[in-house]
Amino acid sequence: MRIKEDEQFMKNNYLKHGLSNFYLSLQPIVSFCEEAEEIEMYEVLLRSSITDEFPNIEFSQLVYDEQGNTFFLNWYAEKITNFLSTYSKIKLTFNLHPIQLSYAGTWTFLNTMKIFKKNILIEITEHNINISDSQRYYETILPESLKRIQLLGYFIAFDDVGIGLNTLESIDFNINQIEILKFSLLPFEREEITYKIQKAQKWAAIARGKNKRFIVEGVENKKLSKQLIEAKIFLQQGYLWSNKELKIK
């Protein structure tokens, strides 16, 4: 019994220490109207204070462990609550990995945060999940979870459409719960700009056809942004606006 208590203590300390190396960066999502731009919302991005990049390995270790997920979301809730209590007019989008929807701690988190539901958009990331019964997850657990999120009063976005979990088939299957489709140009960063515009236009047309809002991520320069505007894609996000990012330490 003592050994298990010691192991649990060590695990808790490890989790707390890992979280101390994280911070949140708020990346602007910009809306254009007659070429005038304004920040409509911010995406909350997890960052390592050591590398200033997304801590992919550490994050995966946390969310594939139920206790780790609870520690992480408790930390996350405190940061977001403090921020929105001060900046009540700002709207945020934040990501949930599909595996997180299977944990009780995630639903405790969403229930706790629903006092800010008018300020929050939930993005379901594209990550495939590493569990034995993945088919049941995609056909039952995910749709039921999206309906549950919607009933809590949140709007839902599908992140990085066309990649991983967030296929056109999955979008169609869950269409009544989705408010926004987000498409990233980052996987095509080495492609010509005309190719990027064509890919964005394809998904913009899909979003319009389903009466959903559409955001393009990965807008790195003014030339690309201008051509997206000419293609009538007015919600944009990316490095171009990095000087307007906010940080939550």
Joined together, the tokens standing for residue 188 give: 């095509």
Separation of alpha carbons 44 and 27, rounded Å: 7
* Dihedral angle of Cα 47, 187, 242, 178, to the nearest 10 degrees: -80
Q: Measuring CA to CA, which residue among 42, 123, 149, 27 is closest to residue 87?
A: 42
Token couple for 82: 């403090």
Q: What pLDDT score does 244 carry?
A: 96
H runs (alpha helix) in the chain: 2-19, 56-63, 66-86, 104-113, 134-136, 142-151, 168-173, 193-209, 222-230
Matching residue, tokens 């919302």? 41
How does pLDDT run along the chain (249 residues), one tens digit per residue?
444 443 344 345 556 666 888 999 999 999 998 768 999 999 999 999 999 999 999 998 899 899 999 999 999 999 999 999 999 999 999 999 999 999 999 999 999 999 999 999 999 999 887 766 667 777 888 999 999 999 999 999 999 999 988 999 999 999 999 999 999 999 998 999 999 999 999 999 999 999 999 999 999 999 999 999 999 999 999 999 999 999 998
Q: Which helix (H) or strand (E) holds 70?
A: helix 66-86
Domains, the chain, with CATH or none: 20-248 (3.20.20.450)
**pLDDT of res. 164:** 87
DSSP state of 153: T
Joined together, the tokens standing for residue 81 give 């609550």
- pLDDT at position 10, please? 39
Give residue 131's pLDDT.
62
